Amino acid sequence: MGNALHRRSFITFKEKKMENFEFYNPTKLFFGRGQETRIGSLLVEKVGTDSQVLVVYGGQSAKKSGLLDKVTSSLKASGINFVELGDVRPNPTYEKVKEGVVLAREKNIQAIVAVGGGSVIDTAKAIAICVPYEGEGWDFFEKGVVPKKALPVACVLTLPAAGSEQSKRIVISHQGRKLGTGSDIVRPFASIINPEFFFTLPPKQVRAGVIDMMSHIMERYFTQTPNTDFISGQAEAALRSIMKNGLIVRKDSQNYEAWSQIGLAGSFAHNGFYGLGQKEDWACHGIEHEISAWDETITHGEGLAVVTPAWMTYVWKENPSRFVQFAQNVMGVKEDTEEKTVLAGIAALKNFFKEMGAPVTLAELHAEKLDPQELAEKAVKIPGTLGNFKKLHSEDILKIFELMR
């Protein structure tokens, strides 16, 4: 009896502890007004003068704001040669990556400069791993091949959202699938964040960005790993700050101070810090990626606004105390029972999304016609199950889709 008890408590101790981890984040950050003019000298430092660089950008915004001109002028002034690859679309495609790979090989490119948001940066990072790879680049995404070599990438960020400017992840769409890959070698060697370039963001991208960065923190915060006081406390503070400043920039798009907080939070939200020593979840992202793969006009952050409260409602009973902590410390709500507190926390989060102007149902996302069965099966096809807070099978994901209606 004594032995059994001892064994049980030993097993409990062994299973429930902070995880070992390695953390390596070599991205040099340059933050604030005017920092974009440093891009030329950063490239000289990395690959030398007279080198050949690929500048990747999106549709119109970086041209209209004058940022692209500033970047290319800085490169010219530093004696860097460059070729351009524009027209990267949101939810970027492997086709575009291949176009960049052909161009980069033809021009003997030594480094890549991304000027834009997550889609542009991910395209640049994908080109960076595909150029030195002899096989089919889609293998990184579909077959789980780990990138071992990459051209150096520098970013000039125009949209605080995906966190790709510091993250080790790349997300690319191809043939109806939206898949990720990553390793430390894909982290940009330098990223420039001047919050003035966020002033031109349309409301849709403002809210999508705010919700995406919150999700990057929440995917890590909702963990079953105990003893996460240090990181969880930072996560709660970051979430409160993002919500507060998100509401400010929603009304006042030229507020440099508020954008600075959002820019800083968004960039750190996904560099790995908020997951140190704990098991991360990522079910909401897994489900959302199926939704924006099904309809590429859907914005990732808006998809998350619909998925997240439904996921929370479905899984909270796995560890109610974590959700009580979220309700009280992040959303500032407390009721007389545990269940009421949890549900009030979820409702308050949903209200915040609504206040930002985001959709919170599939119908509001214009996605009511998606086939939940098909998407649920796709979501678990490669990983087997989704998430860690509660391991989700396709039947669970179907129920989460029901809660999104």
Binding positions for ligand NZQ, rule: CB under 6 A: 58-62, 90-91, 116-120, 122, 158-159, 161-164, 167, 169-171, 197-198, 200-201, 205, 208-209, 212, 270, 285, 300-301
Which CB sits closer to ligand NZQ, 203 or 277? 203
Q: How far is the CB of 81 from Zn ion (least distance, A)?
A: 34
Is-contact 279 296, C-beta < 8 A? no
Contacts of 231 (CB under 8 A, 6+ apart): 220, 273, 274, 275, 276, 277, 278
Query: Which residues lie across from 52 on neighbouring strands?
Result: 81
The sign one gets for the Cα dihedral 150, 71, 94, 291 is positive
Within residues 186-215, the interface with Zn ion by CB under 5 A covers 212
Which CB sits closer to ligand NZQ, 51 or 93? 93
Contacts of 39 (CB under 8 A, 6+ apart): 71, 74, 75, 113, 154, 156, 192
**166, two tokens:** 């510091």
Which of ligand NZQ, Zn ion, none does residue 59 bind (CB under 5 to 8 Å by kind)?
Answer: ligand NZQ
Q: How far is the CB of 215 from Zn ion (least distance, A)?
A: 5
Measured CA to CA in angstroms, residue 89 lies from 26, 30, 142, 180, 241 at distances of 28, 26, 21, 17, 30
Which of Zn ion, ligand NZQ, none does residue 158 bind (CB under 5 to 8 Å by kind)?
Answer: ligand NZQ
Which of Zn ion, ligand NZQ, none does residue 197 bind (CB under 5 to 8 Å by kind)?
Answer: ligand NZQ
Q: How far is the CB of 214 from Zn ion (least distance, A)?
A: 10
Q: How far is the CB of 395 from ligand NZQ (least distance, A)?
A: 25
Measured CA to CA in angstroms, residue 137 lies from 129, 134, 304, 330, 375 at distances of 8, 8, 28, 41, 24
**CA–CA gap between residue 191 and residue 48 (Å, rounded):** 18
**291, two tokens:** 């939704």
Residue 234's nearest CA partner among 258, 264, 260 is 264
Which of Zn ion, ligand NZQ, none does residue 157 bind (CB under 5 to 8 Å by kind)?
Answer: none
**CA–CA gap between residue 191 and residue 362 (Å, rounded):** 35
Beta strands 111-116 and 190-193 are unpaired
Closest CB to Zn ion belongs to which residue? Answer: 212
Which CB sits closer to ligand NZQ, 236 or 288? 288
Which CB sits closer to ligand NZQ, 161 or 392? 161
Which CB sits closer to Zn ion, 91 or 228? 91
Which CB sits closer to ligand NZQ, 93 or 341? 93
Q: How far is the CB of 3 from ligand NZQ (least distance, A)?
A: 47
Which CB sits closer to ligand NZQ, 205 or 341? 205
Q: How far is the CB of 230 from ligand NZQ (least distance, A)?
A: 23
User: Binding pattern to Zn ion, positions 211-240, x when CB under 5 A?
Assistant: -x----------------------------
Q: Which residues bind Zn ion (CB under 5 A)?
A: 212
